[in-house]
Amino acid sequence: MSARRVLVTDAEHFVGPAAVERFRAEGDEVVAHIEPFTSRTEVAAFVAEHAPFDVVIANLDAPITVTSITDHDDAIVDELHARLVRPLYWLLGACLPSMIERRDGAVVVPTSATAIRSSSHPIAGYEAARAAQLQLVHSVGKEMARHGVRVNGIAPNFIENPSYFPPETIADPEFQASMRTTVPAQRLGRGAEAAAVLWWLASPDASYVFGTVIPTDGGWTL
């Protein structure tokens, strides 16, 4: 497979570092965008400057607010949608037209397994925002199939990453004990394992996969 031009957003957060490492190891040219996008205009300008992309890893990160739904004020909800939902619309709107024109390309969205199975923690706002991403993957994946453009996603949880499972969390004995009883695989997944699923979905090997979200969570959603 020849080298591809790959965009990874929020590249230093969530599964971004592992994605950058994997795609570069495969010989792809990776454009790593570090800071969160804040407007449709910003995304359009960035894509116009750096496109076309063969692959877009729409990796979007936001802090998780653990609080009752009765305490989810507008600031919390707006921040979650500003970081997780609206940028996905912007990226799809800016990157898909050239893929449609070429009848080729792949978008892969790391969402969250908490959009499939609710967490034991009160994080309804975060779960709802990730669920919006998941549904966008299903809907847009179906829409793009006739164009030969693949839009898919992964639903990670209990994957080592700098945003949600950083080294200090992983080193906590209480967390380790809890993980062994919570995750069927009885271990934390490596970032490289999540990146491997991202890479497969973006590869020609997944040429007949459209609108699918693959849980990548050690069996947690089962």
* Distance between CA atoms of residues 30 and 28, nearest Å: 6
Contacts of 186-191 with C-beta under 8 Å, sequence gap 24+, read 186/218, 187/218, 188/158, 188/159, 188/160, 188/218, 189/156, 189/158, 189/159, 189/160, 189/216, 189/217, 189/218, 190/18, 190/159, 190/160, 191/15, 191/17, 191/18, 191/21, 191/159, 191/160, 191/161
Catalytic status, residue 164: no
Q: Which of 45, 69, 170, 177 is nearest to 123 (CA)?
A: 69
Out of 89, 126, 164, 208, the active site residue is 126
By annotation, the residues acting in catalysis are: 126
